[in-house]
Amino acid sequence: MSNFEIIQSRDKEYVANTYGRFPVAMVSGKNATCYDADGKEYVDLTSGIGVNSLGFCDDGWIKAVTGQLSKLQHISNLYYTEPCGKLAEMLCQRTGMKKVFFANGGAEANEGAIKCARKYSFDKYGAGRSKIVTLRNSFHGRTVTTLSATGQDVFHNYFFPFTEGFEFAEPNDIADLKEKSAGACAVMLELIQGEGGVLPIAKEYVKEAEKFCKENDLLLIIDEVQTGVGRTGSLYCFEQYGIAPDIVTSAKGIGGGLPLAAILFGEKTEYVLKAGDHATTFGGNPIACAGGVEVISRLDESFLGEVAKKGEYIRERVRAMPHVRGITGLGLMLGIELDDDIKAADVVKKGIQNGVLLLTAKTKVRLLPPLTITYPELDRALEAIGKTLTNM
């Protein structure tokens, strides 16, 4: 048996079969380059679904994480630790938000945001004003409540009864949002629907939604689990929309590869959740936060400018490739729209054979490379994508 076959057969027997894995086992990597169990090299345009923002095994990140690891790995939120407060301070100073709650993943961050919105309204208006409007085709997570918040019927199956109190508005249709908002306490949306197909929501619509929310004291929750932490060329995507959300959720890229998520609270929401209202055992783990401090401190203006430039570089080259109808997205969150007869999943499979790791999002090929990807790595990836599409 090959190294891969040994790893695969054990996994198939003992790991719950909830994932359709590709027939590859990864063992090591540096920046956007990684190696499988039999030594084959790949360029990674997935960053572990937007998680490894500084790529594989970044030197500064390893130093930050292992430095904390050899001091104190965990103590619980009953005590103070330095990395948690440092990261919260950086996030608030960079975004203008006021307070941070740390969680472990995107769904958990969104759950906390939902709880905060409902409590804000309960405290001020009493029971009943609990509905949250989200958008059709959105994705907000896999817990029972965040599945309920997800505006795609395919996710509303098997696990009944789902959490009540969610209604879905048509993206970019402000009249529909206003109509669906009767009796609501919040509007929650992604600025670029990621899992839904890398679909940016129109700026004018988001601005109008913000205005409508302010006028009616609905909280505006922006799910930046995928778009946040430099992914779109600004620290958070909402900056490019020129809005001031009441709550922002962040996860995927924030820990640089360790499980970490954050709920950012604005002026209206910073004191809503009080001692005992919300908690999590692992949230704010000092190792994960030390990694987060390194990630955020690296994402200065010049770094973010590079993210935008690399995105343009990819766009220009991919646009000229066969079977490409268009490219959507922002910065290094890109969706390649293909000819109708080309299946995105087939492109990803063939890409692996040609040494490039890609993602899908609905009918598109999705790219979420590490933000630190170098131009030589990009060129290798683009060559492999070109070869893959030419042979489809």
Ligand X SMILES: *Cc1c(COP(=O)(O)O)cnc(C)c1O
Q: How far is CA 27 from CA 4, 42, 66, 109, 252, in A?
A: 10, 11, 19, 30, 21
Q: Which of 42, 61, 139, 155 binds ligand X (CB under 6 A)?
A: 139
Distance of closest approach, residue 155 Cβ to ligand X, in angstroms:
12
E strands, the chain, where? 26-30, 33-36, 41-44, 99-103, 131-135, 166-169, 184-189, 192-193, 199-200, 219-223, 247-250, 261-265, 324-330, 333-338, 356-357, 359-361, 364-367
C-alpha pair distances (Å), 252 with each of 52, 141, 229: 8, 12, 9
How far is 136 from 166, CA to CA, in rounded Å? 11
- Binders of ligand X among residues 23 to 82 (CB under 6 A) are none
Binding of residue 105 to ligand X (CB under 6 A): yes
Q: Does residue number 190 form part of the binding site for ligand X (CB under 6 A)?
A: yes
- Residues 267-296 close enough to bind ligand X by CB under 6 A: none
Looking at the Cβ atoms of 88 and 107, the one nearer to ligand X is: 107
Q: Is 251 in the site for ligand X (CB under 6 A)?
A: yes
Q: How far is the CB of 292 from ligand X (least distance, A)?
A: 14
Total binding residues for ligand X by CB under 6 A?
Answer: 15
Q: Does 331 bind ligand X (CB under 6 A)?
A: no
Q: Output Rg (C-alpha) for the chain, integer angstroms.
A: 21
Q: Is 140 in the site for ligand X (CB under 6 A)?
A: yes
Distance CA 233, CA 256 (A): 16
Nearer to ligand X, 141 or 335 (CB): 141
**111 interacts with ligand X by CB under 6 A:** no
With tokens 């608030």, the residue in question is 92
Q: Tell me the per-residue interface mask from 203 to 242 with ligand X, x by CB under 6 A, - otherwise.
A: --------------------x-xx----------------
Binding site for ligand X (CB under 6 A): 105-107, 110, 139-141, 190, 194-195, 223, 225-226, 251-252
